[in-house]
């Protein structure tokens, strides 16, 4: 079983994102030399727009994917909001930004005050953990479009221009430190739902995405961080996104220790190891890349369990060492 067999073609998505990039870059000239001009280039975890000569806003939009179907299956909605916050703030910190607020978008088939209240329990809990405010949002009732509900949001952060972390400082010999995930997070659910018996695994699949804001920001304050990556859609292939900024690649050896949900998915779906690494976080939800001399210090700072999972190498792409 492959992710594409479940209806999600990551390679096709990359192709479409590239097409979108060519289109949206045509609009950049409308803000050139003005407040709100783009900083950097299209395609990082967050977009940066200049607001003063020294500061930029970081912007990101994301949702929780088909994890909404797990919530509906269990009729349990009080944690899905945590995922929505996590998917936004975890991407904002990948560029060195401090998340400050978020706007939510809830689309429903029909209004149900209990469901909305439960969703907001998760949004509020996520906001508290990330240290952000919920600045506003939108609720739309669309019975002809939505079956059940969908949840997405827009995260906003702020960063000093001289402290942006793009990945360009990465160099061969740097180490890749992996922070443990809380489980499947909010990616790969389309495949997981196809292969697992939900009556047995739905509760575990609904485990909220871990929020890494506090430990990553503390690390940035204390260490010269060379690169940051949130392991989401496309899993470890996502590292190439930041590798391109420094023209480097990655050699990874993932830890044998991982949440059992991934073993269940691989077993029930007869999913190849390569497909697992392209689809799921496999127990590593976030990566921090630093000089080798700073490795122990970073691992001490982080509150998550950490693993040294690889190194930066010459060349491009992500290579895996199986033993």
Instruction: Please report, for the chain, the start and end positions of each structural domain, with discontinuous segments joined by +.
Output: 4-163, 175-320
C-alpha 16: how far from chain center: 19
Whole-number pLDDT of residue 3: 63
Distance CA 143, CA 318 (A): 43
Residue 290 burial by Cβ neighbours in a 10 Å radius (0-12, 13-18, 19+): buried
* Superfamily covering domain 4-163: PurM-like, N-terminal domain (3.30.1330.10)
277: CB partners within 8 A, 6+ apart: 235, 236, 254, 320
What's the pLDDT at 11? 73
Integer Cα distance of 186 and 205 in angstroms: 9
DSSP 163: G
CATH number of 175-320, picked from 3.90.650.10, 1.10.3720.10, 3.30.2020.30, 3.90.45.10: 3.90.650.10
Here the tokens at position 98 are 């401090």
The answer to whether the CB of 91 falls within 8 A of the CB of 84 is no
pLDDT tens digits in sequence order for the chain, 323 residues long: 676 666 666 677 778 877 888 888 899 899 999 999 999 888 789 999 999 999 999 999 999 999 999 999 999 999 999 999 999 999 999 999 999 999 999 999 999 999 999 999 999 999 999 999 999 999 999 999 999 999 999 999 999 999 999 999 999 999 999 999 999 999 999 999 999 999 999 999 999 999 999 999 999 999 999 999 999 988 898 898 899 889 999 999 999 889 999 999 999 999 999 999 999 999 999 999 999 999 999 999 999 999 999 999 999 999 998 74
pLDDT at 54: 96
Q: φ and ψ at 205, to 5 degrees?
A: -65, -25
Tell me how many helices (H) and strands (E) the chain has.
Answer: 11, 12
């Amino acid at each position: 079983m492959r992710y594409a067999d479940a209806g999600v073609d990551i390679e096709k998505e990359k192709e479409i994102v590239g097409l979108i990039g060519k289109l949206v870059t045509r609009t950049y000239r409308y803000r050139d030399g003005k407040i709100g001009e783009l900083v950097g280039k299209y395609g990082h975890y967050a977009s940066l727009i200049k607001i003063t000569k020294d500061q930029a806003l970081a912007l990101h939009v994301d949702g929780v994917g088909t994890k909404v179907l797990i919530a509906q299956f269990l009729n349990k909605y009080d944690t899905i909001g945590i995922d929505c916050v996590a998917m936004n703030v975890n991407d904002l910190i990948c560029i060195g930004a401090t998340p400050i607020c978020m706007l939510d978008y809830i689309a429903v088939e029909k209004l149900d005050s209990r469901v909305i209240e439960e969703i907001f329990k998760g949004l509020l809990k996520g906001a508290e953990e990330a240290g952000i405010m919920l600045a506003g949002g939108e609720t739309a009732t669309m019975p002809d479009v939505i079956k059940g509900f969908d949840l997405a949001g827009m995260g906003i952060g702020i960063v000093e221009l001289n402290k942006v972390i793009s990945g360009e400082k990465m160099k061969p010999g740097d180490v890749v430190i992996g922070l443990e995930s809380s489980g499947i997070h909010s990616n790969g659910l389309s495949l997981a739902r196809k292969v697992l018996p939900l009556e047995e695994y739905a509760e575990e699949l609904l485990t909220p995405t871990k929020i890494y804001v506090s430990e990553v920001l503390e690390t940035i304050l204390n260490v010269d961080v060379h690169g940051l990556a949130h392991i989401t859609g496309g899993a470890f292939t996502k590292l190439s996104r930041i590798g391109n900024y420094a023209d480097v690649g990655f050699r990874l050896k993932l830890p044998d220790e991982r949440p059992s949900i991934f073993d269940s998915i691989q077993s029930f779906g007869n999913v190849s190891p390569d497909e697992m690494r392209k689809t799921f976080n496999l127990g590593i939800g976030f990566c921090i890349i630093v000089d080798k001399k700073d490795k122990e210090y970073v691992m001490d700072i982080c509150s998550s369990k950490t693993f040294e999972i690889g190194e930066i190498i010459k060349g491009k792409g992500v290579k895996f060492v199986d033993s």
